[in-house]
Amino acid sequence: MELNNVTTIQDMQASAKDRTLKEPHKTNAESTKSKPDLLYGINDNPPWYLSILLAFQHYLTMIGAIVSIPFILTPALCMSDEDPNRGLIISTMVFITGIVTYFQATWGVRLPIVQGGTISFLVPTLAILSLPQWKCPPASELSAMNEIERQELWQIRMRELSGAIAASAMVQVILGYTGLVGKILRFVTPLTIVPTVSLVGLTLFEHAAKTASKQWGIAVGTTAMLTLFSQIMSNVSIPMPVYRKGQGIEFRPFLLFRLFPVLLTIIIMWSLCGILTATNVFGEGHPSRTDVRLKVLTSAKWFYIPYPGQFGSPSFTLSGSLGMLAGVLACTVESLSYYPTVSQMAGAQPPPLHAINRGIGTEGLGTVLAGLWGAGNGTNTFGENVGAIGVTKIGSRRVIQWAAFIMVLQGVIGKFGAIFILIPDSVVGGIFCVMFGMIIAFGLSTLQYVDLRSSRNLYILGLSIFFPMVSCKWIQEHPGAIDTGNKTLDSTLTVLLGTTILVGGVLGCLLDNIIPGSPAERGLIEWANQMPLSSDYVNDGSSTDYDFPYGMNALKRWKWTHYVPFLPTYKLQTDNQ
């Protein structure tokens, strides 16, 4: 059988380049897409006070996703709902998020994107913690433990996750900073992205159901209200007072529901749970009472600076590190699909190869830091903040830098992080139903590039999504099924074959590259327009959107920098091709 990967995405873009050269009558202005109507572009700097307000908006957009992670992670760590360390994990994640976001926006890909904890890492995390040696002991045994024993119980699991996250992320660091990611992207097709990203949401549906079922009325109400605010009332403006010097106070329309649908939903449903708690409609011990985890807030420290190894030195195992590669793969694919979109939203040029390399490398570096700090998760580009740019028309890099400062500040104020743990589980379950659904939809949206009338594509799509859900579920429920006689190999294969996003992504990539199909049928032509891998996008000095803020003159003087794949002066060696 003839391999079908001869025609790659880069070949498609080379053909596009040839067509452009044969049509000299078209000017650059004519061939460049019109920039979106922006209030502030990528290099614009709003006044500091406005930047802080806009930055806080980005913070509020991402905090809902970050605080949802511990609701799935901590039970798998055998941590009780009342454990104040749940707030500490949130603070640690937000603290690392702030540091990585600033570095990414300033020195990394230099797009106005927010880095943060991601649901994608939860799939391999749960696969690792489902191994026999990491399963939680029975509830009776847990209740008999003293505080020190319970603390060591979850911290030893956190150390296992920390080591796995940090070690696996080094692969992402190498892929980015060596420039290998550009070569691998030739084989990452739409039919690779669809199962990889979609299976993140599909795999976690049981956790959404378990959380929402603690009070279905509140959960369904949360989902309905979020739908009302974000979809039906998104264009409804609210008059807001604004002070203007020399003109006094005036009222201007403000799209409150479009900007803060998640925040408004949480506040309203949380308040409703508070009323039902005060009136004893929710009896003592009900999981939707607002005081059920009050101990978390009272026990949290006012100020605490997270530090590496705060839960002990990370432990490294082959099974954990290889299994966590699935999360790294999913995050890499997801971020790569965001970069061209954000550049267009922010009025920037398409990201050149050096920016893509640097962005993925920096994301991997952030995940290494998250692992060493004990965040229990990695870092990834936040889709919620990408959407915020499109809604607000604010694509300024400076705003994201201010948002990073707010995140670092919140990370050291312990009680602020602990507040979010008080959100009732049923409210979080309602948010899960929307959030996980959007992840599935984002993965499926990539199908717009492929021909869905093709039986070939439908076969690959169906098999790469359904088969992992069947096989991985069985592997997780029968952890002793793989018995090679070597415990390390058994654990490694169990985690790898029990991680849906890894099995689905590899299966989709393999089938799409070996089953014959035309470039148009596979979606390579349209996808190539979204993923700039050709020499057309090498920095030729005409655009400074992705230049470093300092030191560019020195880099341009040194010829050796032209060969470093993550520097802005990098020139792809295609001149002789």
Predicted pLDDT of residue 417: 65
Cα 496 to its chain centre, rounded Å, is 21
pLDDT at 237: 84
Asked whether 186 and 8 are in contact (CB, 8 A), the reply is yes
What pLDDT does residue 405 have?
A: 92
Instruction: Tell whether 501 is covered by a domain.
Output: no
Handedness of CA 503, 505, 506, 508 (dihedral sign): positive
Residue 383 pLDDT? 66
Phi, psi dihedrals of residue 310, rounded to the nearest 5°: -65, -20
Q: Cβ(187)–Cβ(7) under 8 Å? A: no
Residue 58 buriedness (CB in 10 A; 0-12 / 13-18 / 19+) = buried
Pair 96, 373: CB distance under 8 Å: yes
CA torsion 85-87-92-93 (nearest 10°) is 120
The residue segments making up the domain with residue 115 are 48-135+150-447
- Report if residue 21 sits inside a domain: no
Q: Which two tokens stand for residue 250?
A: 């005036």
Task: Tell me whether residue 215 is in a domain.
Answer: yes
Whether 72 is in a domain gets the answer yes
Give the pLDDT score at 538: 45
- How many domains does one find in the chain? 1
Query: Would 53 be classed as within a structural domain?
Result: yes
Residue numbers of the chain with a pLDDT score lower than 70: 1-37, 57, 60-61, 63-65, 243-245, 259, 296, 383-388, 390-392, 417-418, 530-543, 572-577
Are the CB atoms for 395 and 41 separated by under 8 Å? yes
- Determine phi and psi for 65, rounding to 5 degrees: -70, -35
Task: Please report whether residue 374 resides in a domain.
Answer: yes
- What is the Cα–Cα distance from 222 to 39, expressed in whole angstroms? 32
> Are 234 and 198 within 8 A, CB to CB?
no
Q: What sign has the CA pseudo-torsion 304, 120, 381, 269?
A: negative
Give me 148's structure tokens: 């020190």
Q: Are the CB atoms for 472 and 498 separated by under 8 Å?
A: yes
Helical segments of 310-382, H only: 318-345, 353-373
The residues pairing with 380 across neighbouring beta strands, listed in sequence order, are 116
